[in-house]
Amino acid sequence: MVGSAVTRVLTAASITAALAALGSVLLSYWYRNRSRPPAMTPHVKALTSPYPGSSVQRWPVPQDKVSWSVDWPEYQPVEYTAPSVLAQPPWADPPHRREGFDPKYNALDGPVQRTSHQGTYEVIDGSPRNPSGRTGVIGRGLLGRWGPNHAADPIITR
């Protein structure tokens, strides 16, 4: 009697785990193969002012000027990198123009993955360009790396 109850619980847990894994694979496949071009990926949070955790006001970017394909010679984004990033914690890159720092963009750069899930991004004057478009800020802000900043947030449920 106890053995069959344990078997049912284990079977239910195995099926749930298998469905979760399948959902993760399908979501990953969908994300990589969606047809929306990277420049049109919405980034509403990236246009809000002030920049999170600071009093820095972004250069205002109207929705019709977000895409890099739209000519906008008047665009003058604010340069900002948070003091906590400039303090050089172990997870942060050094300042961009520091001697000896020459990141390999759109590639695996030693232990740092600098390829983007959105595809190849442009590098203009040695600086990576946000593939989703203008944000009103240049620099790293609160992000430690130049280029993509990959992160994973595990969620544990019971």
Q: Tens digits of per-residue pLDDT, 47-93?
A: 888 998 899 999 999 989 999 999 999 999 999 999 999 999 999 99
Quote the tokens at residue 27.
């979501």
Contacts of 64 (CB under 8 A, 6+ apart): 70
pLDDT of res. 121 = 95
* Global pTM exceeds 0.75: no
CA distance 91 to 119: 23
pLDDT of res. 158 = 84
Give the helix ranges, DSSP H, for the chain. Answer: 2-33, 83-86
pLDDT of res. 67 = 92
pLDDT above 70: residue 30: no
Query: Domain coordinates of the chain in residue numbers?
Result: 1-34, 38-151
